[in-house]
């Protein structure tokens, strides 16, 4: 079965997505997601100029060899742009293999390890009261795991307070250049434990809670935060500090029993390796799109399992439904699956362009047994939603110093 053609589509049904479609000479096609938020067209150029010409005529069954060829064979390895390109090709090839086999991708990985995929919902607010009200709604909806984020009083622009209470996710396309937000670690650390205290006082300890810090603390500050949050027993605190220096995570680990999640920006298993083998983290958050596809994520899951580290794949709105479905198959299979991030099924425009069968019931997602990934992309409808240049926000300290996002 030969690869006959590969097309790349960029559309913006609510936000930008880069979708790859591989066509074979047997009439079967596969889909992949190559979206890198704020750098979408760089991936398109990488695919169209440097990847696709090398793949025409190759055997679509040779997923592993194609992955090695695009990765090792490229000389310039790794990085967000090239790994998203390789990830999209890899996911599309798994989709094709499943369709040819007449099996959903999770069967090719080793079959189901659980009935459905437990997800964590996002609960945000511009004050603790608002977050608590929204948490009550999420619990009533049946979620068992929830991520809590709150705006910090006297700090403009964190979660849920931009542009008339909009979530930062919704800013896409609305500004030509990156919006800027102010950050103060002192104000944050003085404020955030109270959010979790209030949540526990009102809802007890059965609801599992997570929190994302977007790398804004130093290791010792992250250790302080972990200690302060210990009484509220989080499922995990995510991205407390940057991962450029894995030893920073040793400092955090040595001081606190609050579990640690990391890895939504990892592009390879090697990014995760020192953090996993030293047992500095508890959940690894690498996505099929940014981590180079299903092939390396399967290896990452198996490696992580040796160290009691569980999978908690990134599920932000800038990963397309194609990546979401790739994660559903990985999550159903992985024996060491932890939890899947989930921000809802998205806008009507999005669900017009991407169609798939996934049902949310009591905080768990069920998919059906459609061969392959079980997702369709309507390229004609996608044309209705052209690309819009767009950026994530940038963070600065109160004195203007550029800070981590
Ligand atoms: C976040 C992301 O979902 C998460 O955990 O860290 O929302 C992140 O900000 C975006 O994916 C960046 O593109
Ligand atoms: Mg995150």
Strands (E), 357-399: 358-361, 364-367, 375-377, 394-397
How close is the Cα of 343 to the center of ligand 2, in Å? 12
Distance of alpha carbon 108 from alpha carbon 393, whole angstroms: 39
Residue spans in the chain of domains classed CATH 3.20.20.120: 108-371
Ligand 1, residues 157, 179, 262, 316: which to mutate, most atoms within 8 A of Cβ?
316
Q: Which atom of ligand 1 is nearest to the CA of 315?
A: 3
Contact 32, 66 (CB under 8 A): no
Distance of alpha carbon 117 from alpha carbon 119, whole angstroms: 6
- In angstroms, the Cα distances linking 303 to 94, 165, 222, 228, 307 are 21, 41, 26, 31, 7
| Of the options 3.90.79.10, 3.20.20.120, 3.40.50.150, 1.10.3430.10, the CATH number for the domain spanning 108-371 | 3.20.20.120
Digits of tens for pLDDT over the chain (405 positions)?
999 999 999 999 999 999 999 999 999 999 999 999 999 999 999 999 999 999 999 999 999 999 999 999 999 999 999 999 999 999 999 999 999 999 999 999 999 999 999 999 999 998 999 999 999 999 999 999 999 999 998 787 666 555 555 565 555 666 678 888 899 999 999 999 999 999 999 999 999 999 999 999 999 999 999 999 999 999 999 999 999 999 999 999 999 999 999 999 999 999 999 999 999 999 999 999 999 999 999 999 999 999 999 999 999 999 999 999 999 999 999 999 999 999 999 999 999 999 999 999 999 999 999 999 999 999 999 999 999 998 888 899 999 999 998
Q: What is the pLDDT of residue 181?
A: 85
Q: What is the pLDDT of residue 167?
A: 61
Nearest C-alpha to atom 12 of ligand 1 is from which residue?
Answer: 37
Beta carbon of 40 within 6 Å of any ligand 1 atom: no
How close is the Cα of 253 to the center of ligand 2, in Å? 19
How close is the Cα of 391 to the center of ligand 1, in Å? 12
Q: What is the pLDDT of residue 159?
A: 62
**Catalytic sites, residue numbers:** 159, 214
Q: Which atom of ligand 1 is nearest to the CA of 38?
A: 13
How close is the Cα of 341 to the center of ligand 2, in Å? 9
Contact 398, 182 (CB under 8 A): yes
How close is the Cα of 62 to the center of ligand 1, in Å? 32
Name the pairing type of β-strands 145-148 and 180-183.
unpaired
DSSP code at position 59 = B
Ligand 1, residues 213, 243, 314: which to mutate, most atoms within 8 A of Cβ?
314
Q: Which atom of ligand 1 is nearest to the CA of 169?
A: 7
Please name which of 113, 112, 182 lies closest in space to residue 153, comparing C-alpha atoms.
182
Q: Which atom of ligand 1 is nearest to the CA of 317?
A: 11
Lookup result for tokens 């059965």? 206
DSSP code at position 328 = H
Contact 145, 341 (CB under 8 A): no
Q: What is the pLDDT of residue 392?
A: 86
Nearest C-alpha to atom 4 of ligand 1 is from which residue?
Answer: 316
Q: What is the pLDDT of residue 153?
A: 83
Residue spans in the chain of domains classed CATH 3.30.390.10: 3-104
Beta carbon of 341 within 6 Å of any ligand 1 atom: yes
What architecture does CATH give domain 3-104?
2-Layer Sandwich (3.30)
Distance of alpha carbon 230 from alpha carbon 360, whole angstroms: 31
Ligand 1, residues 178, 179, 264: which to mutate, most atoms within 8 A of Cβ?
264
Contact 238, 313 (CB under 8 A): no
Beta carbon of 316 within 6 Å of any ligand 1 atom: yes
Nearest C-alpha to atom 11 of ligand 1 is from which residue?
Answer: 316
Q: What is the pLDDT of residue 29?
A: 98
């Amino acid at each position: 079965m030969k690869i006959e053609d590969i097309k790349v589509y960029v559309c913006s049904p609510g936000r930008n997505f880069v979708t790859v479609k591989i066509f074979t000479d047997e009439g079967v096609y596969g889909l992949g997601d190559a979206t890198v938020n704020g750098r979408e067209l760089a991936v398109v150029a990488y695919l169209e100029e440097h990847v696709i010409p090398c793949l025409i005529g190759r055997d679509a069954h040779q997923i592993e060899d194609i992955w090695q060829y695009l990765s090792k064979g490229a000389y310039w390895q790794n990085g967000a742009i090239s790994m998203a390109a390789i990830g999209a090709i890899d996911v599309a090839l798994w989709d094709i293999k499943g369709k040819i086999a007449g099996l959903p991708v999770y069967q090719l990985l080793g079959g189901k390890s659980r009935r459905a995929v437990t997800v964590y919902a996002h609960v945000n607010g511009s004050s603790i009261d608002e977050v608590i009200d929204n948490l009550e709604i999420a619990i009533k909806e049946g979620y068992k795991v929830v991520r809590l984020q709150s705006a910090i009083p006297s700090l403009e622009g964190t979660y849920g307070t931009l542009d008339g209470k909009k979530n930062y996710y919704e800013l896409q396309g609305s500004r030509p250049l990156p919006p800027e937000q102010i950050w103060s670690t002192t104000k944050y650390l003085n404020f955030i434990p109270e959010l979790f205290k209030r949540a526990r006082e009102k809802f007890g300890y059965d609801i599992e809670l997570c929190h994302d810090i977007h790398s804004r603390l130093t290791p010792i500050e992250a250790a302080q935060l972990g200690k302060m949050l210990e009484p509220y027993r989080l499922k995990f605190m995510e991205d407390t500090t940057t991962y450029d220096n894995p030893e920073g995570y040793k400092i955090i680990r040595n001081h606190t029993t609050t579990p640690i999640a990391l890895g939504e920006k990892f592009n390879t298993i090697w990014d995760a390796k020192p953090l996993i083998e030293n047992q500095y983290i508890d959940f690894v958050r690498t996505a099929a799109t940014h981590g180079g596809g299903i092939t390396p994520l399967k290896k990452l899951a198996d490696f992580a399992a040796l160290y009691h580290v569980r999978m908690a794949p990134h599920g932000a709105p800038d990963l397309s439904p194609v990546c979401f479905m790739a994660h559903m198959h990985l999550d159903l299979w992985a024996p060491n699956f932890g939890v899947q991030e989930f921000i809802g099924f998205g806008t009507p425009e999005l669900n017009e362009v991407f169609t798939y069968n996934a049902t949310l019931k009591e905080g768990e997602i069920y998919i059906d047994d459609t061969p392959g990934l079980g997702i369709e992309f309507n390229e004609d409808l996608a044309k209705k939603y052209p690309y819009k240049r767009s950026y994530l926000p940038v963070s600065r300290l109160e004195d203007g110093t550029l800070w981590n996002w």
